[in-house]
């Protein structure tokens, strides 16, 4: 199975699980720059279960669009558990969706302005009435596309897991 077909399969499973539970999804993305929302939008049933996504590539846009605290970003940087959770919760608060998945990280080719290494990714899934789930991975400097692909696969897997809990 190719990487693209694997990602498409995961996206289809996520949308099907959302459909089965009559829930909807929103994304908040930084380093993947909307690619996760695009994957989900290509899945059958997305029109009814995907509200869209926020692409918040900069710290300023994370604050403006998602309400991530500027003080948090200054203190912790953009790639950490707290920011990933704040992005997911901000997307949830700013959309009619019941579930939000967020990805923030350093895809490369260089470390970020805070000194985080290439390949460091933080993912969060938030839902109304539940504790947010967080996952941190460091894939290493395997190439920008490979980092983003692994991040999206892990984000979709976490989303599917949370949908299975409801």
Distance CA 2, CA 50 (A): 24
Whole-structure pTM value: 0.97
pLDDT in tens, 79-128: 999 999 999 999 999 999 999 999 999 999 999 999 999 999 999 999 99
Distance CA 31, CA 148 (A): 7
Mean pLDDT of the chain: 97
Give the pLDDT of residue 42.
Answer: 98
pLDDT in tens, 125-142: 999 999 999 999 999 999
Distance CA 141, CA 125 (A): 25
Give, for 40, the enclosing helix (H) or strand (E): helix 35-41
For residues 12, 27, 107, 35, the Cα torsion angle rounded to the nearest 10 degrees is 50
Give the pLDDT of residue 165.
Answer: 73
With pLDDT > 90 as the criterion, what percentage of the chain qualifies? 97
């Amino acid at each position: 199975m190719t990487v693209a077909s694997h990602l498409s399969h995961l996206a289809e499973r996520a949308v099907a699980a959302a459909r089965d539970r009559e829930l909807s999804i929103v994304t908040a993305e930084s380093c993947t720059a909307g690619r996760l929302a695009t994957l989900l939008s290509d899945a059958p049933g997305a029109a009814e279960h995907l509200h869209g996504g926020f692409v918040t590539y900069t710290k300023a846009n994370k604050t403006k669009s998602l309400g991530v605290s500027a003080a948090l970003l200054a203190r912790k940087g953009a790639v950490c558990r707290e920011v990933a959770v704040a992005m997911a919760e901000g997307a949830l608060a700013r959309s009619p969706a019941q579930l939000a998945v967020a990805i923030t990280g350093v895809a490369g080719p260089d470390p970020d302005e805070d000194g985080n290494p290439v390949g460091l990714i933080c993912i969060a899934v938030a839902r109304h009435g539940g504790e947010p789930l967080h996952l941190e991975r460091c894939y290493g400097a395997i190439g920008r596309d490979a980092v983003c692909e692994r991040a999206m696969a892990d984000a979709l897997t976490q989303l599917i897991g949370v949908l299975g809990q409801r």
